[in-house]
Structure 1
Amino acid sequence: MIRLFAASFAAFCLLASPSLAQNVSSVFGPNVDQDDHEAEFRIGAAPNSQDEWRYNSRLHYQRALNDSVRLRGIIQYTKPANGDLELRFIQGELLWQFLEETPGGHVSAFRFDARLAEGDNTPHQFGANWTHQWSFGEGWRLRGIALLDVDLGPGRSDGVFVGARSSLTRRLPNGLRTGVEYFGEFGNTEAGFGSFDQQEHSVGPMLSGPLNDKWGWYAGVQIGVSDGANDQDWQFTITREF
């Protein structure tokens, strides 16, 4: 397993070179385990129109309060092309699993986010999100997420920002999970959603797995399918459970 991790990480670095995504988000699930206690580091890269690479990195720490509520704290940095590393935001999240797994394999949760952005004219944000998961035969899992965000403070935009994410994955006999993920940003209700190509839509493959009983990893790439999205978004994640 360690060799597979090393090979996957090396391949990621080579393909995403010249250095180590812009997208460091995830298709997060609704499940809360009362023993959930972990830290995670994510890093991602995306080229701009001049093939100059931009980077985001995120560190988060999370812990469950009980078997239905989990808290998470996030700090995220960004490095623009030819720029210096700078703080982008800090964020707090509360995930509430309101639907325990049904006999048919359905689970649902709401997640509420509060983001404090860095910068004099950069708006803060509040988000309300719904995530649903359906687990079905032979390790298959389908997730869907609806996201609503509003700006707060200086530089804010009116209206509600609307987004969606989804994934279809399968757990393999060797413990790995692979599949395809979708990320979408439709726009703002006040300004209008515009055409498909004015929105941000991307799809791409992912692969994740355990290193041992405490460490895990994820690697994925998103390919833009609309003009408003990045052509590529690479991401790598390492997770440590406590």
Structure 2
Amino acid sequence: MLPLRNGAKLSRAGMRWAVEALVIDHLTVSRVTAGLGVSWHTANNAVLAEGRRVLIDDPARFDGVGVIGVDEHVWRHTRLGDKYVTVIIDLTPVRDKTGPSRLLDMVEGRSKVVLKSWLAGRPRAWRDGVEVVAMDGFTGFKTAAAEELPKATAVMDPFHVVRLAGDALDVCRRRVQQHLHGRRGRRSDPLYKARRTLHTGAGLLTDRQRARLEALFADEEHVEVEARSSGRRPCRP
């Protein structure tokens, strides 16, 4: 039995079921509460305690980390603004093709100070073993990594590379649309109709989509979009 702070107890089998129900089956705490026959706070405290025991307090979870990924995540929307957490994951298994990435930690906030403090809390030997840091274009993360992981190479992760390239393509398309027609795109406009097709990887295009792009690029007025797209589409996984 697992004693909890409020005096209630849960069996290890019940605790395992609760964690699997939340993580794998995506049940709510309320549904888990009903299944276990305990109060909401009892179930929630038990899951948090087990998660800390299995994940956070596991001394081996930082072993063998050579590549890390850093990104922010909005965990709550409020009237005063979004609430962020900084997410740090281990990408070493992905690089070595030995398995999926692993969650290392989540820290409240999104800033240079948040990441720098987290990195500074790791042993020097661990920091020296990190070879690559993948992140988005946020300057705060890049600066923190440069200061605390001087031996690591900072790169932009593929997701953000593709997104930035796609954003640049959209800006180009809208600019050409405005120049040619003096207005935003409409359903009948070739550039507007092809907006989603332009974001499709070259190897994923259907025959119909290829024909649409060929017709679009046959017009010399669309050459700027074609030039931007030709550098964009092969990058899409």
- Please report the TM-score for the alignment, with normalisation by the length of structure 2: 0.26
Tell which has more relative contact order, 1 or 2 (C-alpha 8 A, sep 6+): 1
Which protein has the larger Cα radius of gyration, Structure 1 or Structure 2?
2
- Please report the TM-score for the alignment, with normalisation by the length of structure 1: 0.26
Q: Which has the higher strand share?
A: 1
